[in-house]
Every structure is written in C-alpha cells, then in structure tokens.
Amino acid sequence: MKNKKAQVQHVFFWIFILIAGTLILIFFISIALHQKTISEYKIASLILSDLQPILAGAMAVEETFNKVELPKAKLEFICDPNTLYSEYSVKGTGIHIETPTEIFFSPTELTHETLYTWTLQFNAPFPVSNALALTSPENLYVFIYDQSSEDSKDLAQYIYDQIPPQINIEMIEKNLINRINPIPYKNIKFVFFTEPSKIIIPEQILKKSKAIKITENAVVFLKKTTDGFSSGISYPIQKISYPSYPRDPQDFITYAAIFSADSNQFKCQIKKLLRRYDFQRRIYLDYTKKLSQQTEGTACQPIYGGIINLLSPTQTQINLTQPSKSLSSILNSAQQIEQQQNNQLEQNGCPQIY
C-alpha cells in the first residue's frame, strides 16, 4: 500500500516538474519574444527617423536622382483614394509616418536595401508641387514597342531616355517578351506603347507583373487576364509645352503612372496633387489681382484680367471625385496662362506672376 502511494506521489512530482518547467520555458520565451518585438520597433523607428529627412530633402530639389542605402526592412506605402490618408511604414511593426501633403509614386512594398528616389515637379504653369518616384533594384520596368510603328518606338525611346539610367528599364520589341528573365526581380511593370490585348505573356513573368499603356493622348492602367493584359482605367494627357521649365506636365503624369503601384495609388496621389494645386491657385490669384491693381490704366492690366479669369474657380474646376476631368481642366487653363505669361506680359514689359 505504501509502495503504491509512493509511486503515485512520484508520478505527481514529475507532473509538477513538467508543468513548472513548461511555465518557466513559456515565461522565458515570452520575455525573448517581447525583447525581440521591442528591438524590431526600435529598428523600425530608427529606419523611419533616418528615412524621413532623406525623402524630404530629395523632394525639395527638382529633377534630382538619389541612391539611398537602408538596413534590410519591408517598407510599405499606402494611399487611400477615398479618404486621401497616406503613410509609409515598416510593415508589420505599426511604426509609420503620415504623409498628408507629400506625393509618392512607388510600389506598394520595397524590401531591397537600396532605395532609388527621383524628384518630379508639376507646374500648371506655376510651380504646384514636387513629387518622388520611388523604386529599387528588385523592380524591373519593361517598355514594349512595335517595331513596325515608328511612332510607338519613338515615344518609348523618348520616355526611356528621360529616366535615370540607374533604374532597371528594358526596351523590348513586342514579339521578344520571352527573352525577359523574371528571376532576379520581385515586381515587373510593363509599359506598353502598342496594343497589349493580343500579346501573350508567359505565366512565370505574368504572375509578377502589372501594366500600363501609354499613347500620345492618355495613360491607361491595364487589367490582368489569364495570359496578358486588357484595357482598364484611362487618364488623358494633353500635349503642352512650357518654355519656362525643363519638364512638361504630361511628362509628370506619364512618369507618375509608370512608377505608381496601381491605379488606386495613382488616383490617390493625383487627388492630393489637385488639392495642392487649388491651394497654390488661390495664392497666385490673389497675387495677380494685386498686380492688376498696381498696373491700372496700363497695357498690363487687361492681361492680368485674362489670367485672373483663368485662375478663377469657375474656369478651373477642381472636383476630387473626378480627378481625370479636373486634371484636364487644369492643363487647359495652364496652357493659356503660360501663353499670356511668356508672350503678352513679357512683350509689354509687365511684372510676371511666377
């Protein structure tokens, strides 16, 4: 009887040891995980605190390319086209920086230690805002053209030549898509300068791919099909030339579409750009009214009157629910303002508005 009792006690002793050991192990594991989480948060905070001034500095200088080295991390960029809330973060940490006014066109995620930034400036025709195109060596941009169409190849070549050479871009004839090696890249962005619907893309390439189509008159965000892409959401491009600036507004829209993650990000950032334009428009409208008052009775006053009309809310209609239409309205007014600024004001020796 005593032996049986001793055996039971012995069993309970080892059960107790097992439970106690498990609890101790869980305790130390939880401490380790907690320390790991704290460490990840600290690293994420350091990365973003270093990155924020770098991006701000890059955005401040127009037409600038930068190569930025970062610790290994998964950067995530979001922009909600409905609320216009935007931020970038180290994914999964909750550590983020909000970007209510900054305009970024980038893949949704960037995981490479090297980050490329390219500054774009939007003028309408006065300076409205700088924006950053962001990418990395893990992203490939493929320009698809039609050898039989001189216009297709020329447009592709023109845009290709404007993009910094450090960014991974290939120009490929539409019948040679099979030559693309997808293995080194996380994402592939096709930019079609020809009709994409009849072009079959191999599965191993297609699964990593998104696409847009560019023509002289529009950028189109394409929909993925089982073996390629078909037409999707379109944004018009108007051919406008600004003698005052090295880059025209249609170039800005084109590059923004190329580097955007998708149509939603493009739409969201363009809405932020429209909001920024409306703010700048009011400033230049007030300034032009003052110039008109100061030049009363001179040849300058009616010229300012024409510009005031073009800057009025009724002439330039901003509707965030219709960004494509609003963008078209802005560019129409911008072209007329630029003509008056560079022709009539300059010819009459009038103070210029920008």
pLDDT at 23: 63
Domain identity same for 288 and 323? yes
Is the predicted pLDDT of residue 125 greater than 60, yes or no?
yes
Q: Is residue 352 part of a domain?
A: no
Rounded Cα–Cα distance for residues 335 and 259 (Å):
25
Q: Is residue 107 part of a domain?
A: yes
Domain identity same for 185 and 308? no
Q: Is residue 57 part of a domain?
A: yes
pLDDT tens string 193-214: 999 988 999 999 999 999 999 9
Please say whether the beta carbons of 204 and 184 come within 8 A: no
Q: Is residue 167 part of a domain?
A: yes
DSSP-derived pairing of the beta strands 65-69 and 114-123:
antiparallel
Residue 122 Cα distances to 63, 223, 293, angstroms: 11, 27, 29
Domain identity same for 5 and 115? yes
Residue ranges making up the domain that contains 293: 270-347
Burial class, 189, CB count within 10 angstroms (exposed 0-12 / middle 13-18 / buried 19+): buried
Please say whether the beta carbons of 308 and 288 come within 8 A: yes
Q: Is residue 73 part of a domain?
A: yes
Question: Is residue 334 very low, low, confident or very high in pLDDT (cuts 50, 70, 90)?
Answer: confident
Look up residue 247 and give its two tokens: 């880059």
Lowest mean pLDDT among 41-45, 166-170, 227-231, 344-348: 41-45
DSSP-derived pairing of the beta strands 139-145 and 169-173:
parallel
Domain identity same for 144 and 191? yes
Domain identity same for 336 and 278? yes
Domain identity same for 145 and 197? yes
Domain boundary among 244, 263, 282: 263
Query: What mean pLDDT, rounded, does the chain reach?
Result: 87
Is the predicted pLDDT of residue 172 greater than 60, yes or no?
yes
> Residue 73: what are its φ and ψ, rounded to 5°?
-160, 160
Rounded Cα–Cα distance for residues 189 and 201 (Å):
13
Domain identity same for 124 and 227? yes
Domain identity same for 14 and 143? yes
Q: Is residue 82 part of a domain?
A: yes
Domain boundary among 230, 263, 296: 263
Domain identity same for 109 and 24? yes
> Residue 190: what are its φ and ψ, rounded to 5°?
-85, 135
Average pLDDT for residues 138-144, to the nearest whole number? 98
Lowest mean pLDDT among 92-96, 123-127, 247-251, 337-341: 247-251
What total number of domains does the chain contain? 2
Domain identity same for 115 and 239? yes
What's the maximum distance between 2 C-alpha atoms anywhere in the chain? 122
Domain identity same for 181 and 278? no
pLDDT at 198: 86
pLDDT tens string 64-100: 999 999 988 899 999 999 999 999 999 988 899 999 9
| Cβ atoms within 10 Å, residue 101 | 11
Query: Between residues 14 and 247, which one has the greater pLDDT?
Result: 14
Question: Is residue 309 very low, low, confident or very high in pLDDT (cuts 50, 70, 90)?
Answer: very high
Rounded Cα–Cα distance for residues 99 and 84 (Å):
10
Domain identity same for 229 and 291? no
172: enclosing H helix or E strand: strand 169-173
Domain boundary among 231, 263, 295: 263
Query: Between residues 39 and 143, which one has the greater pLDDT?
Result: 143
